[in-house]
Amino acid sequence: MEMYSSACKEAFTAKQKALELHRWKLEEQQRLEEARLAEEAALAIAEKEKAKCRAAVQKAEAAQRIAELEAQKRINAEMKALKESEERRKVIEKMVHNDVRYRKYSIEEIEAATEYFSESRKIGEGGYGPVYKCYLDHTQVAVKVLRPDAAQGRSQFQQEVEVLSSIRHPNMVLLLGACPEYGCLVYEYMANGSLDDRLFRRGNTPVLPWQLRFRIAAEIGTSLLFLHQAKPEPLVHRDLKPGNILLDRNFVSKISDVGLARLVPPNVADSVTQYHMTSAAGTFCYIDPEYQQTGMLGIKSDVYSLGVMLLQIITAKSPMGLTHHVERALEKGTFADMLDPAVSGWPVEDASKFARLALKCTELRRKDRPDLGNEVLPELNRLRALAEETMPNITMSCSPQTTPRQSQSSSQVS
């Protein structure tokens, strides 16, 4: 019995040990399974990280290749631009020295005509240099002389010669000749000076009647459209203002000072009519705000300047804040007070239409401005026809004896 009891105890103990061993085995298997799963998860994470790393490396390599390509393109573009600029400079220089479309004068001829640039012959002074009134080839002319220290003077001289020697229009100042070696330009003499001088009656000159003002506005629009439709490349004036509109003895207006004009590539003009310039140029109050901010030049940049000038033509007021004042006057019904009081018989209704058209031209956004050929010029021509029906005989003149300096604009070609 003792032996049996002892055997039973041993059997029970062995069974418990077996159960414990089985339980330990199950726990070990579970731990092994968890370790295997953890290892697989770690391997999966490691693989994902490797994939991300490979993708990042590939992306960095692609970005580096793109950057290298862009850098190469930029270098190529700069080299091409420099080459084109150099070729253009050579062409312009060759044109200036060899062009047969204008008369070449020697410096001796210019000095003799101007009495060695006598002060008594001087009729104006601009950023470009002094302007002298004299006779060449038995013709009364205005001679513009490039100052040695004039900023960008030489490039403006070449630009002006290139433009004016290749285009002809009855409302563009006529280039008669030049002395390329010394930077002298010879123009037809404009007896009644600039529109700016006449609007503000400098030298106590007679007031311009409203009929003449409407006619001048239409002439300016016609010549500006001519520039914009120039072939093979449209021209943007960039400095349109009353000071650059000159009047001949019959008060026919002509655009001058195209030294800042820019050729816009045809493909640009036909598509977006914009061309990026490195820096804005022109005169404050007349510069297109969009061009001033972005450097994007287009034919509607001139339309803005035209709008400001049209408002000055009927008000004879400073351009500073003029669009705001005219707009407020139209809203309040006091527009008649804005018209130049020195002029009698204003057709107020037609003048208000004129002013509203001018305000459209001065919209801040270029796309909101009207088209010069299809919208602006037809209305200006209508007003010119109205003016010509009632236009008095123009007998005004600016006496050179009484106003030798004011009768010719400082920008006849300044």
CA atoms within 13 A on the CB side of 194: 24
The domain in which residue 139 lies consists of: 103-188
Which residues is 179 bridged to in the sheet?
184
- 325 burial type by CB count under 10 A (0-12 exposed, 13-18 middle, 19+ buried): middle
Q: For residue 198, which of 218, 215, 212 has the smallest C-alpha distance?
A: 212
Looking at the domain assignment, is residue 76 inside a domain? no
CATH number at residue 209: 1.10.510.10
Report, as ranges of residue numbers, the positions in the chain whose pLDDT lies below 70.
88, 91-101, 126-127, 148-155, 259-282, 392-414
**pLDDT of the residue at 407:** 41
Q: Is 143 helix (H, G, I), strand (E, B) or coil?
A: strand
Looking at the domain assignment, is residue 206 inside a domain? yes
Let me know whether 180 and 203 are in one domain. Answer: no
Let me know whether 266 and 234 are in one domain. Answer: yes
Which of 149, 165, 188 delimits the end of a domain? 188
Q: Is 263 helix (H, G, I), strand (E, B) or coil?
A: strand
Let me know whether 180 and 199 are in one domain. Answer: no
Looking at the domain assignment, is residue 229 inside a domain? yes
**pLDDT of the residue at 199:** 95
Let me know whether 174 and 276 are in one domain. Answer: no
Looking at the domain assignment, is residue 29 inside a domain? no
Let me know whether 329 and 235 are in one domain. Answer: yes
**pLDDT of the residue at 97:** 55
Q: Which amino acid is at 60?
A: A
Distance between CA 162 and CA 171 in Å, rounded?
18
Let me know whether 206 and 244 are in one domain. Answer: yes
Looking at the domain assignment, is residue 24 inside a domain? no
Looking at the domain assignment, is residue 12 inside a domain? no
Tokens standing for residue 99:
């062009």
Distance between CA 356 and CA 349 in Å, rounded?
11
**pLDDT of the residue at 90:** 72
| Secondary structure (H, E, C), 170-233 | CCECCEEEEEHHHCEEEEECCCCCEHHHHHCCCCCCCCCCHHHHHHHHHHHHHHHHHHHCCCCC
| Residue 301 neighbours by CB under 8 Å, 6+ apart | 236, 238, 287, 288, 290, 291, 366
Let me know whether 183 and 246 are in one domain. Answer: no
Let me know whether 315 and 297 are in one domain. Answer: yes
Let me know whether 137 and 224 are in one domain. Answer: no
**pLDDT of the residue at 411:** 46
* Tally of residues, the chain: 414
Q: For residue 217, which of 363, 361, 396, 327 has the smallest C-alpha distance?
A: 361
**pLDDT of the residue at 262:** 60
236 alpha-carbon distance from chain centroid: 8
When computed from its CA atoms, the radius of gyration of the chain, rounded to whole angstroms, is 40
Let me know whether 179 and 294 are in one domain. Answer: no
Looking at the domain assignment, is residue 1 inside a domain? no
Q: How many domains does the chain have?
A: 2
Distances in whole angstroms, Cα of residue 61 to Cα of each of 49, 55, 66, 69, 393: 18, 10, 9, 12, 79
The catalytic residue positions are 239
Let me know whether 302 and 160 are in one domain. Answer: no
Let me know whether 131 and 275 are in one domain. Answer: no
Distance between CA 302 and CA 306 in Å, rounded?
6
CATH number at residue 114: 3.30.200.20
Looking at the domain assignment, is residue 72 inside a domain? no
Q: Is 9 helix (H, G, I), strand (E, B) or coil?
A: helix
